[in-house]
Amino acid sequence: MEKSHIFATVITTGLLCVSTLASAYDADWKRGRVYYRSVCTACHAAQAGGSIAPSTMSKSQWGTYLQADKHAKGKDSMKQYVSKAYRASIKSQNKAAEKFADVPEDELFEDIKAFVIKGAKDGDSPASCS
């Protein structure tokens, strides 16, 4: 009994390590687009004087912007709007927040990043926000 338990633990730990090593996350720009358009743009249209298109910045500007994580002229953090807590707080009025309620924060952040880089003014397909 004891031995097989240890054995099972060793196997499980081994599998976890292998899957961690293998998991360079492959960002899903389409999911990023849905979130950007439904959550980010919804608020910009209401509170930022209009939507903010990915094509307003270049790839490198987006890279610097996301790295700095200063949002709304530095007043708050952009990551907070990607957090599970924020999604939970708006999910009753926002379908995308509800649909992606359980997506890990890091993955959703990478998805949004992939979308804005692709949609940047010098990106593969410059994108508006709606």
Q: Which is nearer to ligand HEC, 2 or 102 (CB)?
A: 102
Binds ligand HEC (CB under 6 A): choice among 39, 96, 120, 127: 39
Taking the complex as a whole, how short is the minimal distance between the CB of residue 34 and ligand HEC, in angstroms?
A: 12
Taking the complex as a whole, how short is the minimal distance between the CB of residue 107 and ligand HEC, in angstroms?
A: 13
- Report the C-alpha gap between 13 and 89 in whole angstroms: 35
- Is residue 109 within 8 Å of 37, Cβ to Cβ? no
- Report the C-alpha gap between 103 and 87 in whole angstroms: 10
Binds ligand HEC (CB under 6 A): choice among 27, 34, 53, 82: 82
What tokens appear for 50 in the block? 């209009």
Query: CA 109, 114, 69 angle in degrees (round to 5)?
Result: 45
Taking the complex as a whole, how short is the minimal distance between the CB of residue 35 and ligand HEC, in angstroms?
A: 7
- Is residue 54 within 8 Å of 123, Cβ to Cβ? yes
Q: Is 43 in the site for ligand HEC (CB under 6 A)?
A: yes
Using CB under 6 A as the binding criterion, the count of chain residues that bind ligand HEC stands at: 15
Q: Is 29 in the site for ligand HEC (CB under 6 A)?
A: no
